[in-house]
A and B are shown apart, each in its own frame.
Chain A
Amino acid sequence: MSTTSHLETETHGHDDHHGHEHHKETFISKYVFSMDHKMISRQFLITGIIMGCIGVFMSILFRLQLAWPSESFGIIETFLGKWGKDGILDPNFYLALVTIHGTIMVFYVLTAGLSGTFSNLLIPLQIGARDMASPFMNMLSYWFFFLSSIVLISSFFVETGPASAGWTVYPPLSALEKAMPGSGLGMTLWLVAIILFIVSSLLGGINYISTVLNMRTKGMSMDRMPLTIWSFFFTAVLGLLSFPVLLGAGLFLIFDRSFGTSFYLSDIYLNGIGALDNVGGSPVLYQHLFWFLGHPEVYIILMPALGITSEVIANNARKPIFGYTAMVISLLGISFLSFIVWGHHMFITGMNPFLGTVFMFVTLIIAVPSAVKTFNYLATLWKGNIRFTPAMLFAIGLVSLFITGGLTGIYLGNAALDIQLHDTYFVVAHFHLVMGSASIFGMFAGIYHWYPKMFGKMMNNTLGYFHFWLTFISAYVVFFPMHFMGLAGVPRRYYEFTLVPEFGIWMDVNVVITIAAIVGGLAQVFFLYNFFVNIFKGEKATQNPWQSNSLEWTTPVEHIHGNWPGPLPVVYRGPYEYSVPGRELDYYPQNIPSDGEDDIHHTETVKVDEPTIETPTTEVDSSKVLFASFAKLFGLNRA
């Protein structure tokens, strides 16, 4: 691995021309085709934020239609042109907006924007590596993601509009060009975008896994990894195992659309065409393949947010995370179970109802590790000394939203209850709370917490507080009432609720929701301003602004290639040793040897000999055994 650093380049770099391994950094190699994981993580984050703005803006456009059906809004005509003639949203385009909103939020913001950003930033920094295992693949991963975003957005400019079959793009609707305008070229572009996206996330995932397994610094045994790293690791494993299945599903769909195969099509008569010649396929097959990815995907979204929350809560409560081992085991349990519960999305799709029973059993089991995580967060707060930074507030918000949204999962996982709730606003409420809002909150927590590391500047706290409170309140006001609508049988993906007069009673609720959504959207201005302006104008960050234990805060504030100017730090203890009894400072960085008391600024003085293994509590517990065997399983314990 190259350890070429800034320092070197600055001191004697400008007068050599060639013949040395280190190359001069140009604008392009530093900011565009960068192979430095820190730069790549910023690229992921900023692209994710831009996509997020687009996604939220779309949701506000269609929320206008839901609150004031067929009312004319200038803003709709301005932005949507022929799809918003006279300021009225076209029903086909309503579906297009919903579809692209869902796709952007799920894949582009919360998969790439969240896991891509923080895996890239934190994996090397927190395990003490100089970069990713393959910086080049890492760079490709970003550029595939970028290309994919461009393709997706470009589908807005095709004549028949973007994909409109819902973010799940079920065939036959998505397979037949004549079934809806959005299933034309727009759908093709959607599929191309998703395939590029899958390539990106596979390249990233392989990298994250091999980096975590192989490149931990001395002393960083697996049981000393921060929970963030565990969560990124499991997330990458999930992605690696499930995205290829989506790739398969997507390719079959492309074949059905363009090459006349019949994977998903059978016995179809289309108005204006007549009977199609496809026989023998099954639309339900697609749903199995899609949800085989789709369910792990929701954990791919959520787990990094949970990992970030663990770190932020422990750090700001100044306490060890409660039940580190249990936290890891529940992540492991969630990861494993998430592969066998996909059928809970399909109870009433015509799948054999007996299978439904099986999926119901496993689905409700997955609630147990989720509950354990929640209780452990609560126990971590108990008797802490809590500092409410904006990051901490967002982390607490995440726990609250995770509880609210998680509990409604118990209804939806129950096959019997799902009969009524499937595809209603209850589902919209559920996944927006547990997956949408909770993960977005995790992402904000991460941004506020690691901004000093990413940009070397501090964010403004006051703006952060306003951002948090407005977002938190509006998240609940937007999504909580939707539960009741869903229970009354109000279907999702409806352009307006004039079908039956019964829906009329929800009109006023819809208005309130839309107002809250707009306030929530405006609240993001606080964030955007805070984020972008402080990159240039913020106060300079200090070395370890949150008095944190983990290794990323031992690197210089100014980014350098290879992360540490001297030798790599050596790790002497777990990452959550906060408020250790008998110590004056309330934190105990991982890289400080036990005897070298309290001197945090001397990374160079680290001894390179074998770390002494510390057991702060007398109980030598089963967790050690578990980790040892886990490491053996991979044959990779480097401690």
Chain B
Amino acid sequence: MKQTQMKTFIKTGLMVLFFGFVYVAEPILELKTLNTELQEAALFGVGSDEFEPFKEATGAESLKSKIQWALYIAAGLLILVLAYVFDVASYAQKLTGRKIADANKINAWMLLIFLGVGMYFAAWEFVVHGPETKVYNSSSEHGVDYDNMFMITLIFTAIVFVATQVLLFVYSFMYKKSETRKATYYSHNNKLEVFWTIIPAIVLTILVLRGYAVWKNITYENPNSKNAQEIEVFAYQFGWTARYPGADNKFGAHSFNYISGTNSLGLAVESEVETFKEELKKDTSDYIAKINSIDTYLSELNAKVKDFKKLANFKGVEDTEKEIARVLNGEYKMDLELMLRRRTKQLERMALVEMNKEEYKATFNGSVHDDMITKEIVVLKNKPVKLKFRSRDIIHSAFLPDFRVQMNCVPGMNTEFTFVPTKSTDEIRKEKNNEEYNYYLYCNKICGQAHFNMKIKFVVVETETEYKTWIAAQKPAYPMQLPGSEKEEEINSPVENQVEESVVIIQSNNKKSI
């Protein structure tokens, strides 16, 4: 019974794999025409240092993938053949009545081999990929403490890892079943158990105390928190903008109520807010008008359907009929009412600020007029910087791995991170021997389709003069307007531009044709 089962399984498997193999065999024959380097990279990509992922031609790329498919199938074949051999052994055993392969012994040996090979590859990983991990290569002051903490933890865990894994596999091997021996009856030993409870407890206490010291200094007892240069980092789907406080070193107030097409950060700029209020009011009356004229809208739609039918525009007919259904089941009206409520509430909230004189003054105090909005973050080496995070829509996370910095950006909440960059962009470029290397701040909290593509350049300059030159080149986004002067030219909607940019990027990445 067992025998036939195994055979059916193997036969079916072999058949499937054979056809698969034939299907992909063709590109393998073509492989001869490729140069050997590419073959190596394609087949055993791991070890090759000069492997350049972005420079391969697409033809080779797809070929490569076919080769890999062939590899899986080959692996599958190998497995099945092994299975067959394995079972032939047990078959022979049945026929001859002699033990040819003792599964228990084979497995015991396999465990031992697994331990050896596994440890080798773990070590290999540390040697090959360890250097890529940025440990001991951080570009910030607290990064050094971080790396030390990491190393201590690594040493401790590595010892425990090796010790326990070795014991696990070696015991399994040593005490494999033997007919001549009986297991030792040994059910507990309180002293031993206390011992191995206390040892981890002590080690963990050491780790936790150190971790506490590092964490405290990075966060709530950060010595630089008071004197750091402040920069506001603003996150939105899908991009970042930065705001510098300008000469007065004070950020102008902001509110999500003030966010508009021309005021993407929602800053308290009086003129902007006034025009925006007018827009909102107009929106409100538009919505009211629409709600009151649903009947006319419906007859318009009906007329449209007729027109489309005449033109044989079926897509048009379909869409319009969908819309009619929406109107008829009340969804259309509900949506309008929701929008109306949103606008009215928003106006109410804005009015509340105006009614309270104190608050109004504090909000529109003019410190916004020298604020600068930039599309990259530039900071000075060795000078503490405090990034203050805001989010427009959903949670994002500002992640600067080179600096060991990460903090979530939460709508309706202020978060911040203070640190001291200690390596300028030029230095890191030299160190990495890569003229194009840049620091980036990227998003590390799932936020939608272009999450993987949401970054802003982070530049650390070497000298004060460089920094000053850069700052001088930035223009305030909403300069104080002299009465009668024309409005500044459009420099101030970086957000909208970037949104479009990232969408374009996604599309090109997808090689999508619309």
Is this pair of chains taken from one and the same complex?
yes
* Residues A494 and B68 in contact, CB atoms below 8 Å apart: no
* Residues B410 and A283 in contact, CB atoms below 8 Å apart: yes
On chain B, the residues within 8 Å of A476 by CB distance are 118
On chain A, the residues within 8 Å of B104 by CB distance are 387-388
On chain B, the residues within 8 Å of A411 by CB distance are 150, 153, 157
On chain B, the residues within 8 Å of A499 by CB distance are 440, 442, 452-455
On chain B, the residues within 8 Å of A374 by CB distance are 164
* Residues B53 and A507 in contact, CB atoms below 8 Å apart: yes
* Residues B204 and A367 in contact, CB atoms below 8 Å apart: yes
Min C-beta distance of B21 to chain A, whole Å: 14
Q: How far is the CA of A472 from the CA of B107 in the complex (A)?
A: 13
Q: How far is the CA of A105 from the CA of B442 in the complex (A)?
A: 29
Q: How far is the CA of A395 from the CA of B398 in the complex (A)?
A: 41
**A-facing residues in B130-144 (Cβ within 8 Å):** 130, 132-135
Using CB atoms, name the residue of chain B closest to A174.
B394
* Residues B132 and A505 in contact, CB atoms below 8 Å apart: yes
On chain B, the residues within 8 Å of A462 by CB distance are 6, 83, 86-87, 90, 103
On chain B, the residues within 8 Å of A515 by CB distance are 68, 71-72
* Residues A325 and B188 in contact, CB atoms below 8 Å apart: yes
On chain A, the residues within 8 Å of B52 by CB distance are 504
Q: Of A323, A361, A387, A408, which one neighbours B193 at CB under 8 angstroms? A: A323
* Residues B412 and A508 in contact, CB atoms below 8 Å apart: no
Binding site for A on B (CB under 8 A): 1-2, 5-6, 9, 13, 41, 45-46, 48, 51-54, 61-62, 65, 68, 71-72, 75-76, 79, 82-83, 86-87, 90, 103-104, 107-108, 110-111, 114, 118, 121-122, 125, 129-130, 132-135, 145-146, 149-150, 153, 156-157, 160-161, 164-165, 167-169, 171-172, 175-178, 181-190, 192-193, 196-197, 200-201, 204, 207-208, 211-212, 214-216, 218-220, 236-237, 255-257, 259, 266, 339, 341-343, 345-346, 349, 392-395, 397, 399, 401-402, 404-408, 410-413, 415, 436-438, 440, 442-455, 499, 506, 509-512
* Residues A274 and B188 in contact, CB atoms below 8 Å apart: no
* Leading 6 A-B pairs by shortest Cβ distance: A489-B401, A266-B412, A508-B45, A353-B219, A267-B412, A487-B133
* Residues B207 and A522 in contact, CB atoms below 8 Å apart: no
On chain A, the residues within 8 Å of B395 by CB distance are 170, 172-173, 283, 349
On chain B, the residues within 8 Å of A473 by CB distance are 114
* Residues B413 and A508 in contact, CB atoms below 8 Å apart: no
On chain B, the residues within 8 Å of A172 by CB distance are 393-395, 411
> Can you spell out 18 A-B residue pairs with CB atoms less than 8 angstroms apart?
A95-B448, A271-B393, A271-B499, A275-B257, A279-B412, A317-B175, A319-B185, A357-B212, A364-B208, A379-B192, A382-B175, A386-B172, A393-B111, A396-B168, A416-B218, A419-B405, A491-B444, A508-B45
* Residues A386 and B71 in contact, CB atoms below 8 Å apart: no
Q: Of A176, A364, A403, A417, which one neighbours B146 at CB under 8 angstroms? A: A417
Instruction: Report if A388-B164 is in contact (Cβ < 8 Å); known contacts: A319-B186, A350-B415.
Output: no
Interface readout for A84-126 with B: 1 if CB under 8 Å, 0 if not?
A: 0110101110010000000000000000000000000000000
On chain B, the residues within 8 Å of A419 by CB distance are 146, 218, 404-406
* Residues B72 and A519 in contact, CB atoms below 8 Å apart: yes
Does residue A547 face the partner (Cβ distance < 8 Å to B)?
A: no
Instruction: Report if A276-B208 is in contact (Cβ < 8 Å); known contacts: A179-B237, A484-B132, A488-B401.
Output: no
Q: Of A71, A271, A385, which one neighbours B65 at CB under 8 angstroms? A: A71
Q: Of A282, A322, A493, which one neighbours B187 at CB under 8 angstroms? A: A322
On chain A, the residues within 8 Å of B447 by CB distance are 173
Does residue A215 face the partner (Cβ distance < 8 Å to B)?
A: no
**B-facing residues in A261-288 (Cβ within 8 Å):** 265-271, 273-277, 279, 281-284
Q: How far is the CA of A34 from the CA of B38 in the complex (A)?
A: 60
Does residue A422 face the partner (Cβ distance < 8 Å to B)?
A: yes
* Residues B412 and A403 in contact, CB atoms below 8 Å apart: no
* Residues B446 and A388 in contact, CB atoms below 8 Å apart: no
Q: Of B176, B192, B214, B509, which one neighbours A498 at CB under 8 angstroms? A: B509
Min C-beta distance of A94 to chain B, whole Å: 9
Does residue A57 face the partner (Cβ distance < 8 Å to B)?
A: no
Does residue A400 face the partner (Cβ distance < 8 Å to B)?
A: yes
Instruction: Report if A356-B440 is in contact (Cβ < 8 Å); known contacts: A350-B407, A385-B177.
Output: no
On chain A, the residues within 8 Å of B71 by CB distance are 515
* Residues A92 and B83 in contact, CB atoms below 8 Å apart: no
Using CB atoms, name the residue of chain B closest to A411.
B153
* Residues A68 and B65 in contact, CB atoms below 8 Å apart: yes
Q: How far is the CA of A176 from the CA of B157 in the complex (A)?
A: 42
Using CB atoms, name the residue of chain B closest to A318.
B183
* Residues A420 and B165 in contact, CB atoms below 8 Å apart: no
On chain A, the residues within 8 Å of B186 by CB distance are 319-320, 322, 379, 382-383
* Residues B220 and A353 in contact, CB atoms below 8 Å apart: yes
Q: Of A360, A522, A579, which one neighbours B212 at CB under 8 angstroms? A: A360
On chain B, the residues within 8 Å of A461 by CB distance are 103
* Residues B149 and A417 in contact, CB atoms below 8 Å apart: yes
On chain A, the residues within 8 Å of B129 by CB distance are 481, 484, 509
* Residues B451 and A537 in contact, CB atoms below 8 Å apart: no
Q: For A68, A381, A393, A419, which residue has the most chain B Cβ atoms within 10 angstroms?
A: A419
On chain B, the residues within 8 Å of A180 by CB distance are 448-449
Interface readout for A396-412 with B: 1 if CB under 8 Å, 0 if not?
A: 10011001100110110
Q: How far is the CA of A462 from the CA of B87 in the complex (A)?
A: 7
On chain A, the residues within 8 Å of B402 by CB distance are 489
* Residues A348 and B406 in contact, CB atoms below 8 Å apart: yes
Binding-face segment, A11-19, A292-300, A304-312, A463-471: A463-471
Q: Of A86, A282, A385, which one neighbours B413 at CB under 8 angstroms? A: A282
* Residues A268 and B193 in contact, CB atoms below 8 Å apart: no
* Residues A512 and B211 in contact, CB atoms below 8 Å apart: no
On chain B, the residues within 8 Å of A440 by CB distance are none
Using CB atoms, name the residue of chain B closest to A276.
B342
Does residue A566 face the partner (Cβ distance < 8 Å to B)?
A: no
